[in-house]
């Protein structure tokens, strides 16, 4: 839901996306109209929101989930997309990975990135692949769309998912740092908890960027959609790790191809869960 700042200086809302798009068609709102997400304090231009772009095609598939995910099919479709859009997807994936490596050079920067900004950048990368799957005009700068719109909710979602994962994995972390020791069964449960969190909240950021969900809505929907497919999503994680390992063996050059393939498969799995064909 959104609030709109009218030409008379009055605030209108809350209004759904469909209502705002209707105002666009009627000429009552344009690209310079100031809007904000419900719960967000900052006003932004309407043109900064991907869902209000003139060429945006809203997803039509209901979030009812699917009976079966095809992980290998997602990688196959990702390869096809990569061949058709090599320069764009290679550049966006390389920039995404490069920024992560850059912040990893500093412990403090890495901590801030992990807890606050990693989800914002993942949302932008997801948008790049989503727009190409849907044959919509896409630019390299879409990688940073999460910093232009919906930024604070994305930061909140990043903090929540990272914090929950940290709580689940706390016994493992304390044992690794040699600050405490726990029985084996506690460590096993901690590891399973980390796996659960990573699977349950795997698609929080695409849901927020694509569907305009709030952080709590995205957390709930991601968990509902993913948990029935936990074994296959764990298989996706294993295949992704294998691709990354093979990329490292090729003196990092292979990562240039592994990263966009993994990102493309990730987004295609999201589209499958949303009932979309891509």
Specify whether the CB–CB gap between 66 and 73 falls below 8 A: no
Separation in Å, CA 38 to CA 35, 145, 213: 9, 18, 11
CA atoms within 13 A on the CB side of 278: 34
**pLDDT tens across 29-60, in order?**
888 888 876 656 678 888 777 667 765 555 55
- The mean pLDDT of the chain is 84
Residue 205 has pLDDT above 90, yes or no: yes
Lowest mean pLDDT among 43-47, 105-109, 215-219: 105-109
- The rounded distance, in Å, linking the Cα atoms of 129 and 270 is 11
pTM of the model: 0.75
Domains and CATH numbers, the chain: 1-48 (3.30.1490.40), 63-273 (no CATH)
Q: Which residues, listed in sequence order, are joined to residue 12 by a DSSP beta bridge?
A: 4
Q: What is the pLDDT of residue 11?
A: 84
- The rounded distance, in Å, linking the Cα atoms of 226 and 69 is 10
**pLDDT tens across 129-153, in order?**
999 998 888 889 999 988 877 788 9
Lowest mean pLDDT among 53-57, 155-159, 182-186, 214-218: 53-57
Q: DSSP states of 226-253 as a string?
A: HGGGHHHHHHHHHHHHHHHHHHHHTTTT
Q: What is the pLDDT of residue 37?
A: 67
């Amino acid at each position: 839901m959104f609030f709109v700042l009218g030409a008379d200086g009055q605030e209108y809302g809350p209004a759904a996306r469909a209502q705002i798009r209707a105002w666009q068609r009627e000429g009552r709102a344009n690209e310079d109209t100031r809007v904000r997400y419900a719960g967000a304090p900052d006003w932004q231009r309407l043109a900064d929101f991907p869902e209000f772009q003139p060429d945006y095609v809203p997803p039509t598939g209901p979030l009812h989930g699917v009976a079966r995910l095809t992980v290998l099919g997602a990688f196959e479709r990702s390869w096809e997309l990569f061949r058709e859009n090599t320069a764009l997807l290679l550049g966006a994936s390389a920039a995404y990975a490069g920024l992560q490596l850059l912040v990893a050079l500093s412990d403090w920067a890495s901590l801030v990135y992990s807890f606050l900004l990693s989800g914002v950048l993942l949302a932008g990368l997801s948008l790049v692949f989503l727009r190409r799957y849907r044959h919509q005009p896409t630019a390299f700068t879409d990688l940073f769309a999460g910093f232009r719109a919906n930024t604070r909710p994305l930061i909140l979602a990043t903090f929540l998912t990272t914090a929950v994962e940290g709580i689940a994995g706390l016994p493992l972390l304390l044992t690794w740092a040699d600050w405490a020791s726990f029985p084996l069964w506690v460590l096993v449960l901690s590891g399973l908890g980390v796996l659960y969190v990573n699977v349950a909240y795997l698609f929080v950021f695409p849901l927020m960027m694509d569907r305009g969900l709030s952080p709590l809505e995205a957390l709930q929907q991601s968990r509902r959609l993913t948990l029935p497919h936990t074994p296959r999503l764990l298989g996706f994680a294993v295949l992704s790790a294998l691709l990354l390992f093979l990329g490292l063996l090729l003196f990092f050059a292979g990562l240039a191809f592994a990263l966009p393939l993994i990102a493309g498969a990730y987004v295609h799995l999201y589209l499958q869960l949303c009932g979309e064909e891509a």
